[in-house]
């Protein structure tokens, strides 16, 4: 898929809310809460215009029972897609609009994603630095696969800063 990096849009939060309301009608009581994460959740950041949503559920195994329903509604069912214990659904085909990540309440990826989001929201200069880096990569790489691989070490560095920041915050 081609890299589509765009300026921040206020519509991204609305898109998250609309999708969360819709998914609640499908999954009902299985969902504990929804979280908007990734670059589209950080004010002012450039991002691929794909909303990363986290659906935190009671039992991840029960999510699999909804695969046929989700598929019939136009979602690509991607299974764990490289992260054990996650269920990923993609919406929008080639012009993807949402990545919906389901995690069971006790999954360690939840904290990592949310701490990273909160760090970028609380550190606008770091968000701006990350945004500039993504722009540079988008000019170098045409396809999202290469783009994502190229930014991996930068993201890991930022994640480490975020986790350190979070640990310091907990100590206070």
CA 66, CA 52: separation in Å to the nearest integer? Answer: 19
Residues 33, 20: Cα–Cα separation, whole Å: 9
Say if residues 99 and 21 touch (Cβ distance below 8 Å): no
Share of the chain above pLDDT 70, in %: 100
Q: Which residue has the tokens 């915050």?
A: 169
Instruction: Supply the pLDDT for residue 1.
Output: 77
The model's pLDDT over 104-152, given as tens digits with 9 standing for 90+, comes to 999 999 999 999 999 999 999 999 999 999 999 999 998 988 999 999 9
Bridge partner residues of 53 (DSSP): 36, 100
């Amino acid at each position: 898929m081609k890299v589509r990096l765009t300026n921040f849009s206020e519509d991204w939060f609305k898109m998250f809310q609309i999708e969360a309301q819709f998914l609640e009608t499908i999954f009902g009581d299985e969902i504990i809460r929804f979280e908007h994460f990734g670059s589209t959740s950080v004010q002012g950041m450039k991002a691929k215009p794909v909303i990363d949503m986290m659906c935190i559920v009671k039992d991840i195994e029960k999510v699999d029972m909804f695969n046929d329903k989700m598929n019939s509604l136009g979602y690509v069912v991607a299974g764990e897609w490289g992260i054990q214990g996650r269920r990923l659904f993609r919406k929008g085909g080639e012009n993807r609009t949402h990545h919906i990540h389901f995690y069971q309440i006790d999954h360690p990826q939840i904290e990592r994603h949310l701490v990273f989001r909160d760090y970028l929201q609380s550190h606008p200069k770091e968000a701006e630095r990350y945004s500039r880096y993504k722009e540079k990569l988008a000019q170098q790489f045409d396809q999202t696969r290469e783009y994502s691989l190229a930014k991996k070490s930068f993201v890991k560095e930022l994640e480490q800063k975020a986790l350190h920041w979070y640990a310091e915050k907990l100590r206070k």
